[in-house]
Amino acid sequence: MYDGYYTVFLGLAMMELCLRLMARHRSASKEYSTKLIALTLVGYLSFTLPMAIVAIVSAQLRQATPSVMCGFALLLALLLALKIVPLYAKETRVIQAATLVAP
């Protein structure tokens, strides 16, 4: 029953990231770097795309969805912990330092 909601939720998150990437190229906003947004999108895709492929290829593997998703969730967690969070922390420090210096 909740599969549809989950699909819509993840789809909207990925669409938002894609729109942010496109808007990033059009504006001079310094809110988030292109690399940070792209890495987050890669993280979402590393979690959802392999499971979607598995679900399409074999209907029998749909029963193993929770187990397979756990493996991909670990991959997403590693990407978040090792790449995205340090980059975000670095960017927010730079932004905070710039606002403290400017009058």
In tens, the pLDDT along 28-44 reads 556 777 787 788 888 87
The pTM assigned to this predicted structure is 0.63
What is the reported pLDDT for 46? 80
What is the reported pLDDT for 96? 62
- Which residues of the chain have a pLDDT value below 50? none
Q: Please, are residues 37 and 17 in contact by the beta-carbon 8 Å criterion?
A: yes
What is the reported pLDDT for 43? 81
What is the reported pLDDT for 89? 86
What is the residue type of 76?
L
